[in-house]
Amino acid sequence: MEIKPKYTSLSHVQTDLRDGKYTMESLVQHYLDQAELHAGLNAFIEIWNDEALEAARSLDEKIKKTPEQLGKLAGMVLSIKDNICYKNHRVSAASKILQGFEAPYSATAVERLLAADAILIGRTNCDQFGMGSSNENSIYGPVKNALDTERVPGGSSGGAAVSVQIDACLAAIGSDTGGSVRQPAAFCGLYGLKPSYGRISRHGLLAYGSSFDQIGFIGRNPTDLALLMQIASGPDAYDSTAIQQPLSYLQEEPSATKRIAYLAPIAKHPSLDPEIKRIQEETLQKLRDAGHSLVEADFDLLEFVVPTYYVLTTAEASANLSRYDGIRYGYRSPQAQNLEQTYLLSRSEGFSEEVKRRILLGTFVLSSGYYDAYYAQAQKVRRLIRDRLLAIFEEADLILIPVSTQAAWKFGEKNQDPTSMYLSDVFTVLANLAGLPALAFPAGTHSENHMPIGMQFMAAPGEELMMS
């Protein structure tokens, strides 16, 4: 299924609004119509029709009466992933455990985007608590890839990616713990931005792995993603890990040519699809032809990346998800007869198998007999991985690697082997382990299944501009 978007950039939207070619109300109605037309793909959990149209009419009035007061995001229609809080709207992380829960406040990033005149159109489907790479792990059912409905859209922000893919919004707000923005963007032929850790406040993002989680964006061009990041970023009293320095340098002109490193071991990775290797080589050649210099870098820690990531994220998940207990909010089992059963049954019935698997694994690696053997060792390896990547940035401005070991697979292909699903994240989790910014971009098409293939740039911490 090929869908031609009405707009591919915010600047084009704003030009047409200013020239009177479209009203904001008619544009929002177009996006609502697209969402309804492609409802079978299951990208949206909830669409706020009346609310979005009312916001559009208000913006049209502002355009007529006080155009000088328009925010930088006037004309930007966004979807929001179902693990980010929006005041007085439901948020469930696609899990039964938060059934019927309404957010009492908005995430800091959401507040800042709305203050710049963005409009939210609805919340999108995702893997439960961001745990998954295919968007098959949702209480609301799987999301389908619009390019081939038999294939996954990627995860965990699969609904976010498909909402942009079907032209139901200009861009999407997602979250990235180990590739959950970049991988679905790549599978759907879009751009996906994960900023540096702490660039955008995590206040209002339902926690999975607190030292990995980062709000990010999916869209049709990197300029829009950079603007969204600029507006959403900044210090926040609610998040002590937020970077304190303002993102003023986005106004600077990037250098014309860059030093781009590629990791030699990746071409030899046993699970790498030959088609992706081919497209990586073609991308490197295009960069060389454009005048950029290429640097071959060794990275001998690749085999430790996925184990390190899953030891640490499951440990953090076991602690973060302990707050969902059937006592204070969310789902409470009707079968429970006493306090112990309330805890046991509410969590057993409320969490999916994948979430329970990760909680149990995290509890195991944090237990007194295994803490030093697993969790402490993984922290040491994480530091080695970060140091090794930072050393590469002393010789290069960017690192180019594939987003995934393969293009979008068919539904059910990896469900019987969770480890195979985990290994598909080997190239994306690097950025989260080291706190690096990363940008996924469309790089080609698989010659056999005709699905998009994405590459990604990684930059040193705080150097998002380098990827533009």
Q: Is 318 a catalytic residue?
A: no
Please count the residues of the chain: 468
Of 79, 95, 133, 156, catalytic: 156
Q: Is 468 a catalytic residue?
A: no
Q: Nearest 10 degrees: CA dihedral of 212, 213, 215, 221?
A: 50
**For helices 10-19 and 24-37, what crossing angle results, to 10°?**
130
Residues 255 and 432: their CA atoms lie apart, in Å, by 26
Residues 150 and 145: their CA atoms lie apart, in Å, by 7
Amino acid type, 163:
S
Q: Is 81 a catalytic residue?
A: yes
Residues 83 and 90: their CA atoms lie apart, in Å, by 10
Task: State the residue for tokens 């938060």.
Answer: 98
Task: State the residue for tokens 């949206």.
Answer: 44
Are 314 and 359 contacting, i.e. CB atoms less than 8 angstroms apart?
A: yes
Tokens of 74: 């006037």
Starting at the earlier edge strand, list the strands of the sheet with 398-402: 44-47, 119-124, 77-81, 171-175, 215-219, 191-194, 438-445, 452-459, 398-402, 259-263, 293-297
Residues 90 and 84: their CA atoms lie apart, in Å, by 10
Residues 309 and 424: their CA atoms lie apart, in Å, by 12
Phi then psi for residue 256, to 5 deg, are -70, -40
Of 79, 175, 180, 404, catalytic: 180
Are 55 and 61 contacting, i.e. CB atoms less than 8 angstroms apart?
A: no
Residues 418 and 327: their CA atoms lie apart, in Å, by 31
Point out the residues that are catalytic.
81, 156, 180
